[in-house]
């Protein structure tokens, strides 16, 4: 599935739509270059999930936990950019345990976080010179049947 996003508001709306579908145990990997809009999309995801706390890039802390809203799951927002492919640091975050009670969104997690779950959604964000984005959604495992309603 490929979606064109013209503005940052479109990225937030897409993220919100995705966030409304997330539940504990869900893993989402956000891929894209610097400035592609991964954190902006995560703001939408958090809004759609109804979690609390301000969403900002967790680059220097590696992970932030946003507590669950009424009846929902918590959001664990991870930025694997500084890990540079070091799986041991990702393991130290104990994300597999977090997946039991939270949805986990990992920026820069492609090539690192896949072992956390066979059921994952990879969202690739390509930023174009005119500042529009193309989002490609790549479902794995149970996501293949859940991705149809995203837009």
pLDDT averaged per 10 residues, the chain (length 151) = 91 94 92 91 93 73 76 86 60 59 87 84 94 94 78 55
> What pLDDT is stored for residue 80 in this prediction?
78
Nearest to 20 by CA among 53, 45, 54: 45
The three-class DSSP label of residue 137 is strand
> What pLDDT is stored for residue 96 in this prediction?
56
| Residue 7 · residue 13 · CB < 8 Å | no
> What pLDDT is stored for residue 143 in this prediction?
87
pTM score above 0.85: yes
CA–CA separation, 104 and 119 (whole Å): 12
| Residue 134 · residue 2 · CB < 8 Å | yes
Domains in the chain, please, with CATH? 2-149 (3.40.50.300)
How big is the chain by its Cα radius of gyration, in Å? Answer: 14
> What pLDDT is stored for residue 6 in this prediction?
92
For residue 141, the tally of other CB atoms under 10 A from its CB is 13
């Amino acid at each position: 599935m490929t979606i064109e996003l013209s503005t940052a508001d479109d990225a937030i709306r897409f993220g919100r739509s995705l966030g409304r579908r997330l539940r504990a145990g869900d893993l989402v990997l956000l891929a894209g270059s610097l400035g592609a809009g991964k954190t902006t999309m995560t703001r939408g995801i958090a809004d759609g999930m109804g979690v609390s706390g301000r969403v900002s890039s967790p680059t220097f802390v590696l992970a932030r936990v946003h507590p669950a809203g009424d009846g929902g799951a918590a959001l664990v927002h991870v930025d694997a950019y500084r890990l540079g492919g070091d799986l041991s640091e990702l393991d130290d975050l104990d994300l597999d345990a977090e997946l039991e009670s939270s949805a986990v969104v990992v920026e820069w997690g492609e090539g690192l976080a896949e072992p956390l779950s066979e059921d994952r959604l990879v969202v690739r964000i390509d930023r174009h010179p005119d500042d529009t984005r193309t989002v490609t959604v790549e479902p794995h495992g149970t996501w293949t049947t859940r991705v149809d309603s995203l837009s």
